[in-house]
Structure 1
């Protein structure tokens, strides 16, 4: 039986294209191949789903890196609503960093991107932002949680996920795991992705909510075989 080397967890800082420090934790098993994990909206590298998957990879001898996007967790920069293109650039900076450290990023795992702009900003969000130039989103205590600028809102609205999916290379394997009881991003989105992403595998976890609250144990057995299959092909 092959002995899996003990992993060492260490904090690493990566500079993005704006010279902002992106703070992450490397679960280092000594493997050259590694997986990068990305948190969702208003979350962090310490979100339990992200941590649990990093630990599961570590136990399989696969190095993993989970990090905070700008304005989230411990990373520098200001939080921006939407910001898909900016976060793609941040992710590219992370991949380039590890390429330069003689590692090879073999897979990217991510959780959640919000839908339902009106549910979060109010039905008249377009009128308000055209008038004021921004919308402050408040928490339950009435304090400002974050500010949505007109520029960031327009980028979010103009992001065409259908076209983005069509640009995914046919050689790129994509796995979507979605809860049937997801109250934030409807499971119908996953079904639409399944129709248009060229090399796609879909698994729906019955009864799981957006954060897989009662279904954490079901994630590694779905995700790990998919990643290990990719490692064997390369």
Structure 2
């Protein structure tokens, strides 16, 4: 039976948390403490950080539902230690694993992981490798890593990188260098194989904007074909950052996570 009482906004506090990864680098994050034992961990995209608009707005939306949230910077990004590198998908999945273990050690439960753009790929890789999270949200992640390289780096990017050994890139006001090794690591990353290995019990939601000009909708459709337990939500008119669709994005994600958490609570336990 549904609760007949109106929902009350919980009293929340934000606490800075520092967690050391397996390379000895300090990862800096912000815990939005809403009083729940369960925590949702939010993962930013490439050349971004925990303060990206989507991360902040989703944290606020989940807080309102009484769900605690942790958003953090991967190593080499934002306030976290380490050098920024292009690629490093599995390294970031390992950063996420350290975060999950940290909260498990505090008798908390990371019940869901969410990533935007590159972070979407990271949470999917995490789910296939560690298999200890049953709720995963992929927001505008890329399935085919070879798509869109010419648009990002220029038509002659391979000639440039073969000649100079690197390409200098500007993205959202952030400048970074892509080495040939890092580029090849990106190109050879095959998301299809790990996605097929995600456990059937793991519920995966992919949210994608129909007007995303950075990662085409085709990638989201492909995830739907290969991930065992998958839902796809297309936000009409949404761009890669869901610039004019933040409220709709948050509504879709909060509804999915709350529903999945409720299912977990009523599911019979194995003896």
Normalising TM by the smaller chain, what interval?
over 0.9
| Residue aligning to 2:99 | 94
- The Cα shift of 1:3 comes to 4.8
- Residues 208 and 217 of structure 2 are in contact (CA less than 8 Å); yes or no, is this contact kept in structure 1? yes
| Residue aligning to 1:126 | 158
- The Cα shift of 1:133 comes to 2.5
| Residue aligning to 1:78 | 83
TM-score, length-scaled by structure 1 = 0.93
| Residue aligning to 1:211 | 241
| Residue aligning to 2:263 | 233
* Partner deviation per Cα, 1:194-220 (whole Å, 9 max, x = no partner): 111110000101111111111111012
* Partner deviation per Cα, 1:123-174 (whole Å, 9 max, x = no partner): 3333333333222224799xx8111122211111111011121111111100
Q: Of the candidates 173, 182, 194, which is equivalent to residue 152 of structure 1?
A: 182
Shifted more, 109-118 versus 220-229: the winner is 109-118
Could you say if the C-alpha distance between residues 9 and 140 of structure 1 is closer, same or farther in structure 2, counting changes exceeding 3 Å? closer
* SS of the residue 2:66 aligns to: coil
Runs of at least 5 residues in structure 2 that lack an aligned partner in the other structure: 119-141, 265-271
- The Cα shift of 1:233 comes to 2.4
Shifted more, 120-129 versus 202-211: the winner is 120-129
| Residue aligning to 1:171 | 201
| Residue aligning to 1:110 | 115
Question: Alignment RMSD, CA only?
Answer: 1.9
- Residues 59 and 69 of structure 2 are in contact (CA less than 8 Å); yes or no, is this contact kept in structure 1? yes
How many pairs are equivalent?
A: 232
Q: Of the candidates 53, 56, 73, which is equivalent to residue 51 of structure 1?
A: 56
Runs of at least 5 residues in structure 1 that lack an aligned partner in the other structure: none
Q: Of the candidates 56, 67, 70, which is equivalent to residue 72 of structure 2?
A: 67
- Residues 32 and 63 of structure 2 are in contact (CA less than 8 Å); yes or no, is this contact kept in structure 1? yes
- Residues 211 and 237 of structure 2 are in contact (CA less than 8 Å); yes or no, is this contact kept in structure 1? yes
Could you say if the C-alpha distance between residues 138 and 4 of structure 1 is closer, same or farther in structure 2, counting changes exceeding 3 Å? closer
